Amino acid sequence: MVMDKHDLRKIQKEKRSMLNIQLLSDLIVDNFFDLDEFKSAKNIFTYIPFGDEISTERILNLKSKKIYAPKIIGKNIVMAEYSPANLKRDKFGILEPVSDNIKVPHFDDIIIVPALGCDFSYNRLGYGGGFYDRYLKNTNGVKVVLIPQELLLAEVPNDINDVKVDIIVTESLAFRKH
């Protein structure tokens, strides 16, 4: 029996809180940096880590790529130019760019999507707000989840509004949708 998303989120958050996120983040980001898609991308669209999410700090600090981070506008997100010196907290307490320099990803850009879980059908368990699914529905780009193996699931419940990812990167492997 597949659990509902609400209960699954609680379990995944609890599991994640028990992990050594800093160590796992370093290993996962190392594997992300090894991806051919990363090497060829000019622009990286990534979240700013909050709480015990996989840290994207090393990605945010890259000088070799243009970096964009999410900014909430109403019930949607846009990706704005990232500058560590130019951030503010949104209504959820998450840092976001102040910049109004908004960019839409091209097919060869990378979009790193936060997740509490992922399955091998490339379904992602998000936080329940639908922000990323609404954003990804009308966006090109290679959708990547950075996630500890411990948080991979046999099955993520999904519905018509959920957008699958293209690549799952863990501390030991990267999986690509064919």
pLDDT tens, the chain, 178 aa long:
567 899 999 999 999 999 999 999 999 999 999 999 999 999 999 999 999 999 999 999 999 999 999 999 988 999 999 999 999 998 888 999 999 999 999 999 999 999 999 999 999 999 998 999 999 998 999 999 999 999 999 999 988 889 999 999 999 999 998 7
Q: Find all residues with CB under 8 Å of 126, minimum gap 6, and list them.
A: 113, 114, 115, 116, 132, 133
Report d(CA 156, CA 94) in Å as an integer: 25
The residue extents of the domains of the chain are 5-117+128-176
What's the CATH code, domain 5-117+128-176?
3.40.50.10420
